[in-house]
Amino acid sequence: MEEAETLTPNERAWLRFLREVSNDADPTPTLRRVQLLRRICARR
Amino acid sequence: MYAACCVTSERLEMSKKPHADTRLAQYVERRVLELKPKKSQLQIASEAGFPNPNMVTMIKNGTSKLALDRVPSMARALECDPAYLMRLSLEQAVGDTAAQAIAEIYGTPITVNEVGWLAEIRDASGDTDPRLTSRSRAALRAIFGR
């Protein structure tokens, strides 16, 4: 299991926001969601 | 008179089921339902190591809390992420605000799914540690329909 202290501040921000938008429901990174996520990162 | 009666019965119900509104009680209820084709509540209680077979029912309906030391075995019995169950259990044990204070100082346990998200973010960004911009926030909201 990954430790919280090994995360960068940016990664912690991503996690915090992920919890917020998913209502802290521990969402699975499904293929569809990952594809959308990759699109966000690719557009940079 | 009727309203007073309703308030009294509501209070009585709350005192009988003080943890009914917690996210843990709702999550355990959901997992028990999802596992129904596979195992019974009694099996779950036994796998979690509860001497009282009614314990799962009591946690589910909010009569009883899930003890923190039972989280690992309960997570195995419910086939769910132990870090997630610990988060919910801590929230139930000490309340929202105290759980947030603990998380602020010690950090929160990270679930397997969250590790998966982080791995995807690292991979998709070429491990450049991307900032969470307002555009990425908007895109994440869109992914979760919020």
Q: What is the 3-state secondary structure (H, E, C) of B27-67?
A: HHHHHHHHHCCCCCHHHHHHHHCCCCCCHHHHHHCCCCCCC
Distance CA B49, CA B77 (A): 9
B71 burial type by CB count under 10 A (0-12 exposed, 13-18 middle, 19+ buried): buried
Closest chain B residue by Cα to residue A13: B132
Q: How far apart are CA B79 and CA B35, in angstroms?
A: 9
Report the predicted TM-score, pTM, of the whole model to 2 decimal places.
0.82
Which tens digit of pLDDT belongs to each residue from B67-92?
A: 999 999 999 999 999 999 999 999 99
Q: How far B97 CA sits from the closest chain A CA (Å)?
A: 15
Report the residue from B83, B132, B141 with minimal CB separation from A10: B132
What is the spatial distance between Cα B105 and Cα A5, in angstroms, rounded to a whole number?
A: 11
- The per-residue pLDDT for range A24-37, each reduced to its tens digit, is 899 999 999 999 88
